[in-house]
């Protein structure tokens, strides 16, 4: 790439939710913004997390200068350990974001110590030809920042995830002035969050949740059990403040909840008055009307604390008749079944379960709605615009939202997907060549962790059609099978070995053996393939199903 070209290279997060990662390249210098993961969909059986394919960055490793993080949500930092295993470059982020990164790095054994650099809003960092200013924004996690990246061709603004909260809990306001200031000076390119472009109006302030929580505390006569995302430090602060007002002790339940609250407290982002906290193991010994339990596991994850509490399988706490359980979180699409199953279990225990949309709200989004997105567009007034963070329909809608700026200097909007590139030079902006992208499936229970596509295909195959094992005993002296082959199946047929189908299948295998030459019989690889082919043909003809067939040959 020529020295006077700026390339915008999304490696994840465009046209999909999660796995956010983007590279900016000018000449021989590359900076990377975020390195997130996503959770697998139902088709990725047995996969724990999905991370972006870093082939492009690995192929250009000598040009990668730094990783810049906008905030600490998993879809923006979850892949950092895998990124560092390939590219040990300096990382820049706010103190809270880097503390969450360190917590993730503790789970991985990296060869080299990462170079973590703490930054603050309004700070400017120079990396090669890039001058990066960190701009304070409000979101559902504390210490989130947008980035203003000054390049030799102009300024690129990356909003990260944001909403414009006029009354944030910590009074750290969204820095609209800096956005406006860059807009006045001229912005080459705006990259803006599209998550909530389908929602009209404005996203409610985090403070809007307090009246509903206050009502719950007012009405609760026994335990209050509240579940929210552990990273929602402002929500935790509201719950702690209300617990103190209502003279209740607080216990954090769950590893992530305990860990994040400790980090936030140590950095001065979460205020916990003396005498308010109790240990999880002591919570049940307190009078039921004097305790608040803050529990992780809002999405009904099978081994999460709230799921274990719901089936009365938690080692420290339980719920019973009269307890109030409130889910102060959104239902992430795809998790409905597990969440409602968990709510059913809680209801069976006699708990009053509060969840879903209501007014005042029990949960508010951390992403900007239409009017806030329009506000940022009007303040920044970019020459070019690329919507980010969302599925294609949302990014396309966001691009249409920007059309009114065509009379105010907007030349063109580009709806890019992961792997597309945008090239900007003195002649303007245009789509560039595609780069290698994809997903890497991680199964933390396996030896090498990375799950190949063929393994996922086999898992899917097994889940749909089961497995059939023809077991053949061959005499090592004569090279012949002296007994009728056995057939074992799992997930294919509940029929016993004596059923017509299984008996006929055994005869098919026996016929294959009889028709094979002595030379073939001594080559087990050939025999396995012949048995597999003949048995597959028979089973497909009889049942229209295609189980995984794995012949086993025993020498006797």
Active site residues: 193, 367
Residue 440 tokens read as: 């890497």
CA angle 109, 114, 116 (to 5 degrees): 140
Q: List the beta bridge partners of residue 38.
A: 50
Name which of 123, 119, 124 is nearest 143 in CA terms: 119
How many angstroms separate the CA atoms of 204 and 227, rounded? Answer: 20
Helix (H, G, I), strand (E, B) or coil at 235: helix
Query: CB burial class (10 A; 0-12, 13-18, 19+) of residue 41?
Result: exposed
Tell whether the torsion through CA atoms of 286, 287, 288 and 293 is positive or negative: negative
Cβ distance 504 to 497 under 8 Å? Answer: no
How many angstroms separate the CA atoms of 39 and 170, rounded? Answer: 30
Q: List the beta bridge partners of residue 251.
A: 293
How many angstroms separate the CA atoms of 471 and 551, rounded? Answer: 6
Q: How would you label 420-446 residue by residue, b for 16+ Cβ within 10 Å and e otherwise?
A: bbbbbeeeebeebeebebebbbbbeee
How many angstroms separate the CA atoms of 377 and 371, rounded? Answer: 10
Q: Are strands 130-137 and 144-151 parallel, antiparallel or unpaired?
A: antiparallel
- Strand order of the sheet with strand 144-151? 124-127, 130-137, 144-151, 154-158, 187-193, 382-388, 412-413
Helix (H, G, I), strand (E, B) or coil at 507: helix
* Residue 381 to residues 70, 166, 410, Cα–Cα distance (Å): 22, 22, 7
Helix (H, G, I), strand (E, B) or coil at 389: coil
Cβ distance 34 to 70 under 8 Å? Answer: yes
How many angstroms separate the CA atoms of 246 and 216, rounded? Answer: 11
Cβ distance 212 to 362 under 8 Å? Answer: yes
How many angstroms separate the CA atoms of 383 and 405, rounded? Answer: 9
Cis? peptide before 39, omega within 30° of 0? no
Cβ distance 360 to 389 under 8 Å? Answer: no
């Amino acid at each position: 790439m020529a020295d006077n070209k700026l390339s915008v290279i999304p490696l994840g997060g465009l046209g999909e939710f999660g796995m956010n990662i983007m590279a900016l390249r000018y000449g021989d210098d590359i900076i990377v913004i975020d390195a997130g993961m996503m959770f697998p969909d139902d088709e990725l059986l047995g996969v724990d997390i999905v991370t972006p394919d870093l082939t492009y960055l690995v192929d250009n490793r000598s040009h990668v200068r730094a990783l810049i993080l906008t905030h600490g949500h998993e879809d923006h930092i979850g892949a950092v350990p895998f990124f560092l295993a390939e590219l040990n470059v300096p990382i820049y982020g706010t103190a809270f974001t880097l503390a969450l990164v360190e917590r993730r790095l503790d789970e991985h054994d990296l060869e080299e110590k990462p170079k973590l650099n703490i930054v603050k809003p309004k700070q400017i960092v120079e990396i090669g030809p890039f001058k990066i200013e960190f701009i304070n924004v409000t979101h559902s996690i504390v210490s989130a920042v947008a980035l203003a990246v000054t390049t030799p061709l102009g300024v690129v603004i990356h909003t990260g995830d944001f909403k414009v909260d006029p009354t944030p809990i910590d009074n750290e306001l969204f820095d609209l002035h800096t956005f406006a200031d860059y807009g006045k000076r001229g912005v080459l390119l705006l990259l803006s969050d599209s998550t909530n472009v389908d929602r009209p109006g404005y996203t409610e302030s985090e403070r809007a949740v307090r009246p509903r929580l206050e009502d719950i505390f007012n009405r609760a006569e026994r335990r209050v059990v509240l579940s929210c995302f552990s990273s929602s430090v402002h929500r935790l602060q509201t719950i702690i403040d209300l617990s103190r007002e209502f003279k209740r002790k607080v216990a954090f339940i769950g590893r992530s909840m305990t860990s994040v609250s400790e980090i936030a407290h140590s950095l001065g982002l979460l205020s916990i008055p003396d005498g308010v906290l109790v240990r999880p193991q002591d919570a049940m010994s307190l009078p039921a009307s004097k305790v608040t339990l803050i529990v992780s596991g809002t999405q009904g994850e099978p081994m999460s604390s709230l799921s274990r509490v719901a089936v009365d399988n938690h080692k420290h706490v339980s719920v019973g008749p009269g307890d109030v359980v409130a889910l102060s979180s959104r239902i992430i699409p795809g998790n409905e079944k597990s969440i409602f199953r968990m709510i059913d279990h809680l209801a069976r225990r006699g708990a009053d379960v509060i969840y879903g949309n209501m007014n005042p709200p029990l949960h508010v989004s951390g992403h900007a709605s239409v009017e806030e997105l329009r506000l940022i567009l009007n303040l920044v007034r970019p020459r070019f615009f690329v919507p980010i963070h969302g599925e294609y329909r949302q990014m396309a809608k966001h691009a249409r939202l920007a059309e009114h700026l065509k009379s105010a200097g907007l030349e063109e909007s580009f709806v890019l997907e992961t792997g597309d590139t945008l090239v900007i030079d003195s002649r303007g902006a245009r789509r560039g060549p595609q780069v290698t992208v994809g997903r890497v499936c991680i199964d933390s229970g396996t030896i090498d962790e990375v799950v190949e596509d063929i393994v996922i295909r086999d898992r899917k195959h097994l889940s749909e059609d089961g497995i059939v094992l023809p077991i053949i005993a061959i005499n090592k002296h004569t090279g012949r099978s002296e007994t009728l082959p056995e057939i074992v199946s799992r997930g294919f047929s509940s029929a016993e070995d004596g059923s017509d189908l299984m008996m006929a299948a055994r005869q098919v295998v026996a016929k294959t053996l009889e028709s094979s030459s002595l030379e073939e019989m001594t080559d087990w690889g050939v025999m396995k393939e012949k048995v597999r082919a003949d048995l597959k043909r028979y089973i497909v003809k009889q049942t229209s199903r295609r189980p995984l067939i794995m012949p086993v040959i025993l020498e006797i």
